[in-house]
Amino acid sequence: MNDLLTYSSRVLFIVLFGLTASCIPLAGNAQTWPEKSVKIVVPAPGGAAAEVIARLISDKLQARIGQPVVVDTKPGADGGIAAVAVKSATDGHTFLLGNAGIMTINPHFNARLPYDPVKDFVPVSMLVNNVVVMTVTPALGVSSVKELVALSKQQPGRINYASVGGRGGVPFLSGQLLRQRVGADLTWIGYASEGQARSDLMGGQIQVMFDVLASTLPLVQAGKLKIIGVTGTQRAPQLPDVPTLIEATGTGVEGVGWLAMYASAGTPESAVNSMNQHLRSILAMPDVRERLYALGMEPVPGSPQALSKTQSDDFTKWGVLIKEQRILPQ
């Protein structure tokens, strides 16, 4: 718990510093940024949702700033390769498309990370919430989270839930939250492939999966799978009739995956502020919002201070869960 308090205190300092600094005139002129091409480093391979979003943003950003915007994919090491690449950049033009795993979950599983999520980076803006849904096979015969929890208690050890991305992902931890808060008897089975997990779910080898909405929705529309809950704090715009797990359980079962923009520590404040304003404008564009919703994403841009608070809150929440459930790294 001391580690949680230390981490949260450091994030709080950044929040307070940011609020104070925002009242001080900038030493430089934000209009001078960028002076050269901008790079967005993505901790995922080409074709992944994060890379698609980065390219969507980069196209719009390039048109606004009149400089090339390069998307550089660096998958591997649970995001560590991308994080280190940006950590080492001090040119004020290199940014990390960070996520909840890199910034709030990985530190709990690896005390020797090659980066520090607080000391090595400065927040720029939240980008999107990744809608994660609780999906079941229709053969299970449940229509709600309440029915699933009841069935799991009636038949302990029978119901398995799947997620992709290992123990460092929000989908896995969402299932663990459901176990912790309402006593659902669910056994986790990890998958390396989303396609294989969905195939096994449809085939009945597993009964439940915490998955991203964009990939699940076509199978739901075809009647092959059923969504019974959303892990976010609000219902997904794409699923207005599907309750959140908070609504379904009456407890704080909430896990939000997100993508956000970060810069390396030492990046000029003028560059951070300018990038933040560009991102807010881009994420307000109707065509961008339509594309993001189609990908199962919810655009949620905000201030650097708001991103710092989300990062701190999530770090604490996941840390408590990991310790209480005695979750070990893979």
CATH number at residue 71: 3.40.190.150
Residue 306, classified by CB atoms within 10 Å of its CB into exposed (0-12), middle (13-18) or buried (19+), is middle
Specify whether 173 is located in the same domain as 97: no
Question: Residue 2: what pLDDT?
Answer: 53
The DSSP string of 189-231 is EEES-HHHHHHHHHHTS-SEEEEEHHHHHHHHHTTS-EEEEE-
Specify whether 174 is located in the same domain as 69: no
Say whether pLDDT at 192 is over 50. Answer: yes
| 8 A C-beta contact, residue 137 and residue 204 | yes
Report yes or no on 87 lying in a domain: yes
Say whether pLDDT at 177 is over 80. Answer: yes
| Percent helix / strand / coil, the chain, rounded to 5 | 50, 20, 35
Mapped onto helix, strand or coil, the DSSP state of residue 135 is strand
Specify whether 51 is located in the same domain as 113: yes
Residue 4 is inside which H or E element, if any?
A: helix 2-21
Q: CATH number of the domain that 221 lies in?
A: 3.40.190.10
Specify whether 59 is located in the same domain as 123: yes
Question: Residue 318: what pLDDT?
Answer: 92
Report yes or no on 33 lying in a domain: yes
Domain region containing 20: 2-129+258-324
Say whether pLDDT at 94 is over 50. Answer: yes
Say whether pLDDT at 16 is over 70. Answer: no
Report yes or no on 250 lying in a domain: no
Specify whether 195 is located in the same domain as 293: no
Residue 260 token pair: 């956000």
Specify whether 14 is located in the same domain as 34: yes
Q: How many domains does the chain have?
A: 2
Residue with tokens 């929000």, as numbered in its chain? 170
Q: What is the number of H-type helices and E-type strands within the chain? A: 13, 11
Specify whether 136 is located in the same domain as 122: no
How many whole angstroms separate alpha carbon 38 and alpha carbon 14? Answer: 24
Report yes or no on 247 lying in a domain: no
Specify whether 125 is located in the same domain as 161: no
Specify whether 141 is located in the same domain as 41: no
Say whether pLDDT at 7 is over 60. Answer: no
In eight-state DSSP terms, residue 120 is S
Instruction: Note the pLDDT tens digit of each residue in 267-296.
Output: 999 999 999 999 999 999 999 999 999 888
Report yes or no on 299 lying in a domain: yes
Count other C-beta atoms under 10 Å from residue 292's C-beta.
22
Q: How sure is the predictor about 118, in pLDDT bands with cuts at 50, 70 and 90?
A: very high
Specify whether 123 is located in the same domain as 177: no
Mapped onto helix, strand or coil, the DSSP state of residue 163 is strand
Q: How sure is the predictor about 47, in pLDDT bands with cuts at 50, 70 and 90?
A: confident
Mapped onto helix, strand or coil, the DSSP state of residue 274 is helix
User: Which of 41, 15, 17, 34 lies closest to 261, judged by CA?
Assistant: 41
Strand partners, 39: 70, 94
| 8 A C-beta contact, residue 321 and residue 327 | yes
Strands 121-130 and 257-264, how do they pair?
A: antiparallel
Q: Which of 231, 249, 275 is the last residue of a domain?
A: 231
Specify whether 121 is located in the same domain as 144: no
Specify whether 214 is located in the same domain as 297: no
